[in-house]
Every structure is written in C-alpha cells, then in structure tokens.
C-alpha cells in the first residue's frame, strides 16, 4: 500500500459556484473522510489572497528578527490575565519558538507590535479574513457530517475568544528538538498557514505524516470540540495529534475558532455523535 504523503485538499470555490452539484457532493464526502481519517485537510480558493498571506509571513519574519529588547516591548506585563502580544518560550522549554498572540480586533487584551510599519493593521485584517473563512468552514463541516442546520454554531457562537498567533520556529540544533511538540487542539477549528519550509505533521495509525505545503493553501485542523463527536465512526484518536518538526528557520500563522462554551464528553457529545450521518 502506498505511504501517505499528505492530507486531502478541498477546493472551496465549489461551494459558491452555480451548477456544481456533483463537485460539491464530492467535496462534502472528502471533508467527511478527512475528518474521520485524519482530523485535517487543506483548503484552496478560500478567499484570502496568497499575496496577503505571504505579506503576513514576511512582516512576521521581519518582526521576529528584531532584537529581544524591541520585541519584549510588546509583551504582556507580569500577572496579566492573558499573555497577549509577544511571547518567547523559556530557554529550557522543549518547544523552540516565539509567537505573537492576538484576540479579535478591539479586544482590550491585545498588545500589537508597532513595528515593522503596517504590521498591526495587517494582523487585524488577517484576523477578520480568517474568521470569515472559519465561519464558512463551520457551516460546511456541519453539512458534511449530516448534522442539523447550525448545530455546530449552537456550541460555538462566542467570537470574543477566538485568537490568532503568528509563530517563528528556530532551527533545530539537536536531534529530537521540535518547533512545537505533539498536542491536540481543544477548540472547534484551527487554520494554519505554513511557509514553504513546512514542518507540520499529523499522527495517523501510529505514523507521523508530513503535511506537505501547497502554494496558497490553508491547513484546517478539526479540533476536539468536533472530534469528540467522532467516537461512533472511529476507534483511534491517533490522528488528532500533531506537531511541528523544524530543521531550519520557519514561520507561520494559526487562527483558532472556538468559544468557551463547554461540550461535555459524556452528555452533549453523545447527542452530537448520534446526529452524525455518513454522506
């Protein structure tokens, strides 16, 4: 059997096109299979221009190459309720990365870097664009799973706790070092945009599968809020785990779409699972 070389890619343009019934049906089936087999897929023609994504990575790269004394000016103060702004992992931390954390535009928690020029404005615009993509995906995934209309929206209707990070991963200097160790995302949907270095991996059937970067594509991670509902169609949770193995400098963007409303595993999730129907 051929070894996996990546995750499925879905063209979102079919969901806005007229007379694309068969293409749309196939896309729904691909998303269903991706959710049940990987928990991940990539999207193209998502409405966010590639030039905009590349500019975001370039400005992020410029910021992370500034000296620490400049970057630390945009960090949260000790005791802050949320660590918005610039954050740097401690020297002895297994994760080798730096990141800027932002909440929805207008949030009182936000601490935006004022340099390089236009970085703040770009982060705010990026947040809006990715939020729009997440809302579309939430609706598409809802239909792909055969759930009642707006079922996921009922559990995920508070946008004030969405967040976005722009990340910088250092080159690995020792074998076994990770940019980000394996973990699961506890939210509803996470969008990830990698540069062409890549590094993201997904665990499936005990093996780590590299998510090969596709030009202009955004990686979609179906988080635990949705994955808990898949207990009726899968036996293993291996594919929920992912990590970033970085051999050289790289950076990326991550946008998390999730409210604080809790989806209890033993009650709401049972109700959720019973409503999933195979397309």
Provide the pLDDT for residue 46: 96
Q: Is residue 213 in a domain?
A: yes
279-to-27, 144, 189, 266 alpha-carbon distances in Å: 11, 7, 21, 25
- Give the N- to C-terminal CA distance of the chain in Å, as an integer: 26
CA gap 195, 193 in Å, rounded: 7
> How far apart, in whole angstroms, are the C-alpha atoms of residue 98 and residue 103?
17
- pLDDT value of residue 151: 83
Residue 160 lies in a domain: yes
Contact 200, 64 (CB under 8 A): no
Q: Is residue 54 part of a domain?
A: yes
Asked, as a colleague might, if the bond just before 179 is cis with ω within 30 of 0, I would say no
The C-alpha atoms of residue 210 and residue 213 are separated, in whole angstroms, by 9
**Rounded to whole angstroms, how far apart are CA atoms 202 and 141?**
19
Q: Return the ∠ at Cα 275 (arms to 274 and 278), rounded to 5°.
A: 100
- Torsional sign, CA 119, 125, 131, 136: negative
Q: What is the count of structural domains for the chain?
A: 1
pLDDT for res 147: 81
Cβ-based neighbour number of residue 2 at 10 Å:
4
CB of 275 closer than 8 Å to CB of 151: yes
| Strand ranges for 7-162 from DSSP E | 9-11, 40-44, 85-88, 97-102
In terms of Cα–Cα distance, which of 182, 202, 178 is closest to 93? 178
Report the CATH number at residue 120.
2.60.120.330
The DSSP H or E segment spanning 36 is helix 21-37
Residue 3 lies in a domain: no
Q: How far is the CA of 197 from the CAs of 119, 128, 183, 251, 252, in angstroms? A: 22, 26, 20, 8, 10
- Domain of 179 in residue numbering reads as 9-275
Closest CA to 164 of 186, 207, 131, 133: 131
Does residue 149 sit within a domain?
A: yes
Give the max Cα distance, the chain. 56
Q: Is residue 48 part of a domain?
A: yes
Residue 164 is assigned to a structural domain of this protein: yes
Instruction: Quote the pLDDT of residue 226.
Output: 61
Tens of pLDDT along the chain (279 residues) come to 334 446 899 999 999 887 778 999 999 999 988 887 778 899 999 999 999 999 998 999 999 999 999 999 999 999 899 889 999 877 776 667 889 999 999 999 999 999 999 999 999 999 999 999 999 998 998 898 888 888 888 877 778 888 898 988 776 554 444 444 454 554 578 888 887 766 677 777 777 777 888 888 998 988 655 655 544 334 333 434 433 333 334 566 777 776 444 444 433 444 445 455 555
Nearest to 179 by CA among 245, 248, 98, 255: 245
Q: Residue 197: inside a domain, yes or no?
A: yes
Look up residue 144 and give its two tokens.
């792909």
How far, rounded to the nearest angstrom, does the alpha carbon of residue 166 sit from its chain's CA centroid?
11
Nearest to 169 by CA among 64, 93, 55, 76: 64
């Amino acid at each position: 059997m051929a070894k996996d070389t990546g995750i499925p890619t879905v063209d979102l343009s079919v969901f806005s096109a007229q007379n694309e019934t068969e293409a749309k049906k196939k896309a729904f089936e691909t998303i269903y299979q991706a959710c049940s087999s990987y928990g991940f897929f990539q999207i193209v023609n998502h409405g966010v221009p590639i030039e905009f994504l590349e500019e975001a990575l370039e400005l992020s790269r410029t910021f992370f190459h500034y000296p620490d004394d400049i970057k630390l000016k945009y960090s949260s103060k000790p005791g802050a309720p949320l660590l918005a702004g610039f954050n740097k992992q401690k020297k002895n931390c297994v994760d080798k990365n730096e990141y800027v954390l932002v909440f929805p535009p207008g949030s009182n928690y936000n601490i935006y870097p004022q340099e390089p020029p236009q970085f703040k404005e770009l982060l705010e615009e990026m947040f809006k664009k990715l939020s729009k993509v997440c809302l579309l995906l939430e609706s598409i995934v809802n239909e792909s799973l055969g759930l009642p209309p707006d079922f996921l929206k009922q559990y995920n209707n508070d946008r004030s706790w969405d967040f976005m990070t722009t990340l910088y991963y250092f080159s690995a200097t020792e074998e076994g070092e990770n940019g980000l160790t394996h973990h699961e995302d506890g939210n509803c949907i996470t969008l990830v945009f990698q540069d062409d270095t890549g590094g993201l991996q997904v665990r499936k059937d005990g093996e780590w599968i590299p998510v090969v970067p596709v030009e202009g594509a955004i990686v979609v991670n179906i988080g635990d809020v949705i994955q808990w509902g898949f207990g009726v169609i899968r036996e293993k949770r291996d594919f929920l785990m992912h990590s970033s193995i970085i051999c050289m400098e790289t950076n990326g963007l991550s946008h998390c779409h999730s409210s604080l409303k809790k989806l209890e595993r033993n009650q709401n999730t049972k109700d959720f699972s019973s409503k999933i129907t195979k397309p």
